[in-house]
Amino acid sequence: EAGVVQSPRYKIIEKKQPVAFWCNPISGHNTLYWYRQNLGQGPELLIRYENEEAVDDSQLPKDRFSAERLKGVDSTLKIQPAELGDSAVYLCASSTDGQGNPYEQYFGPGTRLTVT
Amino acid sequence: AQSVTQPDIHITVSEGASLELRCNYSYGATPYLFWYVQSPGQGLQLLLKYFSGDTLVQGIKGFEAEFKRSQSSFNLRKPSVHWSDAAEYFCAVGLSGGYNKLIFGAGTRLAVHP
């Protein structure tokens, strides 16, 4: 089966510009996650969706970050305006069930963002 | 607060040598524990997981890990390392109770010498 698909793989933008990342989860996975991975660090959760509902966005910087998951399938993460500190790899993951215990999360290859 | 510590930032081993990557966690409840591997330019791939039961768990690619509650540890081991194992390894603790959230350590970068 196809894995988690993300695009673009790389993005270079100037500060104050907007940027968007797209993720298509594994078919049938109702839970979708966006993580940010800073250089030399492990991933940190930004937002989790169960179907089309954002159930955990406590770590999402809402002044400049937004996300949507219309129709409960693919998702878009947006940054506007981008800052130098936003340079990182943005990972998308999906899993089959967000209720109760954690389940296996399948990760996409990520989008490496460089803000200059 | 929940946290995961991977004490070794970089480890270098010779091909064919044994490997142990350390992981310590801080979590008040019964932990769900994971090891992921990330090759350059790739996403994270699940190596193995511990939810309950046997404290020695087997994973893919010949890896195993042992959960030791008394030491709050979940160390990853492999008896004989291959050059293709060079990658970054992340330990994670899963928060239960509906949070379905993974807390990752900072990772250990493994280099393999021929």
Quick: pLDDT tens for B61-105.
Answer: 999 999 999 999 999 999 999 999 999 999 999 876 656 788 999
Do the Cβ atoms of B96 and A100 come within 8 Å? yes
Residue of A nearest to B10 (CA): A40
Nearest neighbour of A104 by CB, restricted to B43, B49, B98:
B49
Q: What is the pLDDT of residue B2?
A: 83
Do the Cβ atoms of A56 and B90 come within 8 Å? no
Render pLDDT for A18-72 as a digit per residue (tens, 0 to 9). 999 999 999 988 889 999 999 989 999 999 998 999 988 989 999 999 999 988 8
Residue B5 Cα, gap to closest chain A Cα (Å): 11
Nearest neighbour of A110 by CB, restricted to B43, B99, B106:
B43
Strand extents, DSSP E, chain A: 5-7, 10-13, 19-24, 31-37, 44-50, 53-56, 65-68, 75-79, 88-95, 106-107, 111-115
Residue A35 Cα, gap to closest chain B Cα (Å): 10
For residues A109 and B29, give the distance between their C-alpha atoms in angstroms, rounded to a whole number.
31
